[in-house]
């Protein structure tokens, strides 16, 4: 379906650089094409090095974090603990070993992974260094910030507790608040 107008004006190289043309296949051609592709992919999957597997895993995690940071909504599934757990699993080392690599106690690492403690800034930086900049510290920081923002916005108990310490409220807005 290479349009005549395009093919007259441009070389094949110029077209390939700018356009992908849709190609119609018959049902049998599609089946054959799918079969050929599956065979080729099976062969290349076997040749993917451990280093490339790790890079692809890190890219997956990084892109997930990027999209989540860009998304305005807080999602309780995507806490820093979730991403940290994914990171440690990618490394295929025991938690104890990973904790040693970033010079923290294994118990502290478990507290981060189980969300019993918020991830401090120094940890975001250590994770950036450990990943050789594959996942920047700012990504960890922003994921934590998003979580803190949500918790602050929805913490009714804290508001109730703190109300008694405020002796005077500005006389603007709704008195019921």
Partner 1 sequence: MKILETGSETEKKVIIGLAGPDDFKILTKKRFSFVWKTVKKTTTVYKLQIEGSEDILGVMGLIDWPGEKRIEIRLLASSAENIGRSKIYKGIAGCLIAFACRLAVIRYGVEACVSLVPKTELIGHYMRKYYMQYAGRHLYLDGNNLIKIMEEYL
Which position among 39, 170, 171, 172 is part of the footprint of partner 1 (CB under 8 A)? 39
C-beta of 11 vs 153, nearer to partner 1:
11
Residues 60-99 that bind partner 1 (CB under 8 A): 60, 63-64, 67
From the list 11-19, 96-104, 146-154, 166-174, the region that binds partner 1 by CB under 8 A is 11-19
What is the token pair recorded at 105? Answer: 């106690």
Neighbours of 141 (CB within 10 A): 19
* 55-74 burial code (b ≥16 CB/10 A, e <16): eebbeebbeebeebbeeeeb
Interatomic CA distance for residues 176 and 173, integer angstroms: 9
The residue among 25 and 138 lying less far from partner 1, judged by its C-beta, is 25
Which residues contact residue 54 at a Cβ distance below 8 angstroms, ignoring those fewer than 6 apart?
A: 90, 91
Residues 8, 17, 107, 133: which binds partner 1 (CB under 8 A)?
A: 17
* Cα–Cα distance measured from residue 169 to residue 153, given in angstroms and rounded to the nearest whole number: 19
Torsion of CA 57, 62, 65, 67, to 10 degrees: -100
Determine if 28 is a binding residue for partner 1 (CB under 8 A): no
Query: Does 108 help bind partner 1 (rule: CB under 8 A)?
Result: no
Contact between 22 and partner 1 per CB under 8 A: yes
> Contact between 129 and partner 1 (CB under 8 A)?
no
Contacts to partner 1 by CB under 8 A: 2-3, 6, 9-23, 25, 29, 32-34, 36-41, 44-45, 47-49, 52-53, 55-57, 59-60, 63-64, 67
């Amino acid at each position: 379906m290479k349009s005549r107008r395009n093919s007259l004006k441009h070389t094949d190289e110029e077209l390939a650089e700018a356009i992908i043309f849709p190609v119609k296949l018959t049902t049998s051609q599609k089946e054959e094409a799918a079969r050929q592709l599956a065979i080729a992919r099976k062969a290349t999957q076997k040749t993917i090095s451990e280093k490339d597997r790790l890079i692809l895993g890190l890219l997956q995690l990084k892109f997930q974090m990027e999209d989540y940071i860009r998304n305005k909504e807080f999602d309780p599934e995507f806490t820093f603990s979730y991403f940290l757990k994914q990171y440690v699993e990618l490394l295929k080392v025991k938690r104890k070993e990973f904790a040693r690599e970033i010079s923290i106690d294994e118990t502290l690492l478990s507290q981060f992974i189980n969300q019993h403690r918020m991830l401090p800034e120094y940890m975001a930086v250590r994770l950036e260094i450990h990943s050789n900049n594959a996942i920047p510290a700012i990504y960890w920081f922003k994921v934590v910030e998003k979580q803190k923002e949500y918790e602050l916005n929805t913490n009714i108990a804290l508001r109730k507790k703190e109300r008694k310490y405020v002796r005077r409220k500005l006389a603007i807005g709704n008195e019921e608040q």
